[in-house]
């Protein structure tokens, strides 16, 4: 909603600039419209200045709000997946994403979902003004997620709920790309690299830790709890194949969308590379552990 207000106000400002004429007010009569040269201010400059002042506070808080919205959306989307894997993987709540998703798992109601997902009437009223809402399925999917949590909250988790899915990863990347697009449009150009890094951490927590990581930890737990005398199961190999496909898709997204946004800041770009490599390294260690367990079981 904040981005929508900013977008519509920007369009209004651009329209008003078409009526450009030099303001007759001198700096001595209106200091806030004065230019550094002491000459009269133009309508375009006045509009740009007022636009900046109008959204100055929201600009400072935008990344926090965008990240929180993204975390809540992911949490609702993965609630049943997390509920299925939580007993086996015993994931500890160490970050914002984990705290939100654990709250969803405990309560299993739509009341803990994002306010933007609950207020469907407001969203519907804004849809006709928003190109983003009209061109994406975020609102519809979010409403169905909330309805699904409310309807199936008390039902036991099915095996299908805990399976990794390429479609799920694609939807998470789609929502993240929309968040990045809003961020690039809303914040100052100089702040884009840092904002991209922050959103990269949010995505890595969601896909790397709470989705792929949870599935791998759960797989390891089941392999460790396997009865030694029984015939080993090769089903985890299918999980590893899906993990490989998701990681490939995820890394391509980072290389195409996120890393180019940090080109102007060498330090942030290097930190993004280091952080991403560490996340992938942890996943590779988990995959290697699964392979070792399977190999030991079949030997």
> In the chain, what are the domain boundaries?
1-54, 55-298
For tokens 């959204």, name the residue: 55
Residue 22, φ and ψ in degrees, nearest 5: -75, 130
DSSP lists the bridge partners of residue 42 as 22
Say what the pLDDT of residue 3 is: 79
The confidence score (pLDDT) of residue 52 equals: 81
Q: CA-to-CA distance for 292 and 298, rounded, in angstroms?
A: 10
225 contacts: CB under 8 Å, gap ≥ 6? none
In sequence order, the 6+-apart residues with CB closer than 8 A to the CB of 212 are: 164, 243, 246, 247, 283
Helix (H, G, I), strand (E, B) or coil at 17: helix
Low-confidence ranges of the chain (pLDDT < 50): 23-26, 29-30, 36-37, 89, 91-95, 107-153
CB crowding 110-137: b at 16 or more within 10 Å, else e: bebbbebbbeeeebeebeeebeebeeee
Place of tokens 């981005």: 3
C-alpha to C-alpha distance for 106 and 45, rounded to whole angstroms: 52
**Helix ranges, the chain (H):** 2-16, 43-54, 56-77, 79-89, 96-107, 115-118, 120-127, 131-135, 138-152, 166-186, 192-203, 214-224, 236-253, 266-298
- Look at residue 24 in the predicted model and tell me its pLDDT: 47
What pLDDT is stored for residue 299 in this prediction? Answer: 61
- Can you tell me whether residue 136 is helix, strand or coil? coil
pLDDT of residue 124: 45
In this predicted structure, what is the pLDDT of residue 233?
73
| Residue 103: predicted pLDDT | 53
Q: How far is CA 183 from each of CA 8, 69, 177, 191, 211, rounded to the nearest angstrom?
A: 15, 13, 10, 10, 24
Which residues on neighbouring strands pair with residue 22, listed in sequence order? 42
Tell me the longest C-alpha to C-alpha distance in the chain. 91
What are φ and ψ of residue 42, in 5° steps? -95, 165
Q: How far apart are CA 170 and CA 152, in angstroms?
A: 24
What is the model's pLDDT at position 141?
44
């Amino acid at each position: 909603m904040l981005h929508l207000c900013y977008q519509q106000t920007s369009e209004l400002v651009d329209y008003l600039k078409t009526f450009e004429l030099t303001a007759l007010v001198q700096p001595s009569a209106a200091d806030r419209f004065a230019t550094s040269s002491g000459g009269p201010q133009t309508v375009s400059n006045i509009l740009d200045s007022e636009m900046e002042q109008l959204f100055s506070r929201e600009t400072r808080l935008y990344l926090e709000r965008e990240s929180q919205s993204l975390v809540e959306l992911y949490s609702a989307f993965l609630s049943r997946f997390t509920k299925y894997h939580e007993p086996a993987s015993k994931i500890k709540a160490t970050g914002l994403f984990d705290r939100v998703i654990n709250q969803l798992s405990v309560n299993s109601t739509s009341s803990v979902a994002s306010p933007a997902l609950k207020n469907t009437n407001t969203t519907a009223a804004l849809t006709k003004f928003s190109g983003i809402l009209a061109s994406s399925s975020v609102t519809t999917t979010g409403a169905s997620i909330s309805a699904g949590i409310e309807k199936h909250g008390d039902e036991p988790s099915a095996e299908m709920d805990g399976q990794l899915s390429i479609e799920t990863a694609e939807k998470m990347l789609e929502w993240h790309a929309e968040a990045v697009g809003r961020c690039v449009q809303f914040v100052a150009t100089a702040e884009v690299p840092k904002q991209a890094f922050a959103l990269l951490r949010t995505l890595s927590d969601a896909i790397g830790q709470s989705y792929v990581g949870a599935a791998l930890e759960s797989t390891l737990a089941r392999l460790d709890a396997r009865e030694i005398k029984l015939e080993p199961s090769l089903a985890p190999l299918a999980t590893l194949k899906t993990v490989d496909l998701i990681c490939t898709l995820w890394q391509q997204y980072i290389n195409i969308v996120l890393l180019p946004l940090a080109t102007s800041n060498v330090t942030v770009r290097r930190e993004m590379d280091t952080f991403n490599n560490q996340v992938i390294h942890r996943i590779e260690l988990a995959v290697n552990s699964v392979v070792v367990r399977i190999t030991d079981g079949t030997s």
